[in-house]
Amino acid sequence: MTPTLQFPGQTSVYRGKVRDMYGIGEDLLVAVVSDRISAFDVILPQPIPFKGQVLNQLASHYLDAVADLVPTWKLACPHPAATIGHRCEPIRIEMVIRGYLAGHAWRTYQSGERLLCGVRMPDGMRENDPFPEPIITPATKAEAGHDEDVSREEILSRGIVHPDLYEAMEAATRALFQRGTEMAAAQGLILVDTKYEFGLHDNQLMLIDELHTPDSSRYFEAAGYGDRQAAGLPQQQLSKEFVREWLMAQGFRGLEGQTPPQLPPDFVSTVSERYIALYERLTGRSFVPQPAENLAHEIQDAVGAWLAAR
């Protein structure tokens, strides 16, 4: 459990599923990652060592890489487990974009449905086939519990966002997915699907939250993808989907009244190793783990020093 921290000028604190958000004054947020892991919108019983650091450093890496496409909330990453950025008014829509029939889209397709968030999926597809072009399947961003699929038409008819703002979000989503696809390809990977979250800062659209991490994205190994599809074999993937698959094998799907199973120690180690491997694969850098001892004090000192120098 990540301890509650105290920063200079702190005005609020919000504990999310996997990160804690600290308001500084009226304009800044500090995001401190934890090793908590969630699946099916439920926090699992055991933390995953170094997962938080992986997510924070990957998100920081990608936020820098897309800043020419859309303004981002990030201002600084003073510690491997913390990011400081603009405080934005969140837009309660997750912009999910899918290049391939996988995960939730496949489970929907397999049930016989061909409509997902108002988007029709072609007949005759197999699991992990590419869509003719990426599809956007938004979800409402819930304060608690499960996010819900929603169509573009519902978003506009319900007045969740102004049509012009939604158009800007769609355009940014496609540009970000294209950039992510290119960056993944350079590392021998396929960006299968991902989600983006946006907010408003001084009425300007900004990209917020994490970006292209294993928690928000699914990757396939590019090498052998075609051969595996032709043979009807599972794809080699780097994402959190294997955690969901393990949970489903235990009979857990995050349904009401269900309690998540305990994760065996060897499985926890495997998950941690996969997160670290994906970080190194995507960034081309060696992962330098931050020891848990004195971590809270180190984060407070690093963030405090940045705030003092601002």
Asked if residue 105 and residue 60 are part of one domain, the reply reads no
Residues 6 or more apart from 234 whose CB is under 8 A from it?
A: 128, 228
- Do 32 and 150 lie in one domain? The reply is no
Residues 42 and 96 in one domain: no
Same domain, 234 and 98: yes
Q: CATH number for the domain including 69?
A: 3.30.200.20
Examine the domain organization and report whether 203 and 174 are in the same domain: yes
CATH code for the domain of 114? 3.30.470.20
* 144 lies in the same domain as 67: no
Residue 177 maps to a domain: yes
Sheet strands (E) in the chain: 10-15, 19-24, 28-33, 38-39, 42-43, 74-79, 82-86, 89-100, 115-116, 119-120, 130-136, 139-140, 148-149, 189-201, 204-208, 217-221, 237-239
Mean pLDDT of 149-167: 95
Element spanning 279, H or E: helix 265-283
Q: Quick check: 230 pLDDT over 50?
A: yes
For residue 37, tell me if it sits in a domain: yes
How would residue 138 be classed by pLDDT, with cut points 50, 70 and 90?
very high
Q: What angle do CA 91, 97, 100 make, to 5 degrees?
A: 165
Both 94 and 128 in one domain: the answer is yes
User: Is residue 3 assigned to a domain?
Assistant: no
199 and 214 in one domain?
Answer: yes
Assess if residue 45 is contained within a domain.
yes
Banded pLDDT at 240 (limits 50, 70, 90): confident
What is the per-residue pLDDT for 1?
46
**Domain termination residue (choose one: 239, 258, 279):** 239
pLDDT tens per residue, range 64-77: 999 999 999 999 99
Better pLDDT: 148 or 205: 205
Please tell me whether residues 152 and 198 are part of one structural domain.
yes
Domain end among 214, 239, 264:
239
Q: For 101-135, how does the pLDDT look when each residue is reduced to its tens digit (9 = 90+)?
A: 999 999 999 999 999 999 999 999 999 999 999 99
Provide the token pair at 143.
């304060």
pLDDT, residue 143, reads 57
Taking the model in full, what pTM does it have?
A: 0.88
* Residues 43, 138 within the same domain: no
**pLDDT recorded at residue 184:** 95
Mean pLDDT of 88-102: 96
292 in the same domain as 189: no
Q: Which pair of structure tokens corresponds to residue 239?
A: 């994402």
Mean pLDDT of 5-29: 93
CA 26 vs CA 22, 89, 107, 140: distances in Å: 11, 12, 43, 26
Residue 1 is assigned to a structural domain of this protein: no
Range of the domain at 97: 89-239
pLDDT band of residue 214 (cuts 50, 70, 90) is confident
Looking at the 3D structure of the chain, how many domains does it have?
2
SS3 label, residue 157: helix
Domain assignment present for 275: no
Residues 111 and 158 reside in one and the same domain: yes
Quote the CA–CA distance of 231 and 76 in Å, as a whole number.
Answer: 46
Q: What pLDDT was estimated at residue 2? A: 55
The reply to whether 30 falls in a domain is yes
Residues 33-45, mean pLDDT to the nearest whole number = 90
